Amino acid sequence: MTGIDDWSGKTVLIVGGSGGMGRATAQEFEGAGANIAVADINIENLPSQYLAIKSDIIKISDCAGMISKTVGRFGRLDLLVNAAGVWVEGESSEMSEDQWDRTIDINLKGTFFTCRYAIPELEKTGGQIINIASDAGLMGSSGAAIYCASKGGVVLLTKALALELAPKGIRVNAICPCDVETPMLEFQARQFGGGNPQAYLAKLKSIYPQGARQRFAKAQEIAAFIFAIAQPRLAPITGAALPIDFGTTAGR
Ligand SMILES: NC(=O)c1ccc[n+]([C@@H]2O[C@H](COP(=O)([O-])OP(=O)(O)OC[C@H]3O[C@@H](n4cnc5c(N)ncnc54)[C@H](O)[C@@H]3O)[C@@H](O)[C@H]2O)c1
User: What's the gap in Å between 249 CA and the centre of ligand 1?
Assistant: 21
- Tell whether pTM > 0.95: yes
Pocket test of ligand 1: the residue of 182, 204, 208, 226 to mutate, having most ligand atoms within 8 Å of its CB, is 182
Identify which of 90, 102, 241 has the alpha carbon closest to the alpha carbon of residue 176. Answer: 241
Amino acid at 210: Q
Nearest atom (ligand 1) to Cα of 181: 1
- Give the chain's domains with CATH numbers: 11-178+218-233 (3.40.50.720)
Task: Say how far residue 62 (Cα) sits from the centre of its chain.
Answer: 17
Q: What is the pLDDT of residues 38-79, one digit of tens each?
A: 999 999 999 999 999 999 999 999 999 999 999 999 999 999
Q: Is 8 helix (H, G, I), strand (E, B) or coil?
A: coil
Digit-coded pLDDT (tens) for 94-132: 999 999 999 999 999 999 999 999 999 999 999 999 999
Please return the burial class of 76, using the count of CB atoms within 10 Å of its CB with bins 0-12, 13-18 and 19+. Answer: middle
Kind of pairing, strands 51-54 and 35-40? parallel
Q: What are phi and psi of 206, to 5 degrees?
A: -65, -15
Whether 147 is catalytic: yes
Tell me how far apart the 2 most distant CA atoms of the chain are, in Å.
56
| 69 in Cβ contact with 117 (< 8 Å) | no
